[in-house]
Structure 1
Amino acid sequence: MSNTVYGSADLKLALTAEEAKKLTVILAKFSKDSEVEKYVQTGIGFSGESFSFYDPIKKGAVRIEGSAALPVDDENEMMGAFSHWLEFLTEVRNTLGRGDWHVHMDDYDVNWDSKLNAYRM
């Protein structure tokens, strides 16, 4: 069984250099790389993946998309990771403030709460 969270946006206007830099900072802020590495080395830690954009985030991009595999061994860990990546995608969307967005976990679409300006399970 595999569960993956996906996010994509057609931005309508190309990313500026400043926006690309902001997205790189947000990605680093939410990164799970050190926890994944710990899991690989010891079997303890985060057994999912960090979110990865499919193409490099750079000035001029008009579409961004990526995904992160969620942990599957523990439902609580999986839901915690899903929540974490929804927070990440919320921050990305709020930072850019434009575009047509699609966020989902496999076949489950995640709706945008326009009152809270956030993705919610």
Structure 2
Amino acid sequence: MNYKDLCLYAITDRTFLKGKALEDAVREAIEGGATIIQLREKQLKGLELKELALSIKSVCNEYNVPFIINDDVMLAKEIDADGVHVGISDMSVKEARNILGQDKIVAATIHTIHNTKQIIFFIS
């Protein structure tokens, strides 16, 4: 995967869809130019989140677009997502990388220069 090709990062939030299926919204986002999809459905957990993740992963696979999971490193590993996004209070980038391996995307929330330095130190 050429990370330079990831130029339009779409993040899901079903609360804005007004009854529309998330799968349809993801298709529209990809057809509109999204080059990576992050599943971020904070209100879902467990089996419901896993089932939705598998469904969205399938849509992304149809278009050969990378699919990442928000916050849940173990779910990303379980369903073989392309990666994960971790927040400040979630697992560290280093821990996520150790669990997912070198071939997966590990994105992180960065709010301060200190956060950036931590990430850069890990990468270098």
Q: TM-score, normalised by structure 1?
A: 0.33
* Greater share of strand: 1
For CA contacts below 8 A with separation 6 or more, give which structure has more relative contact order. 1
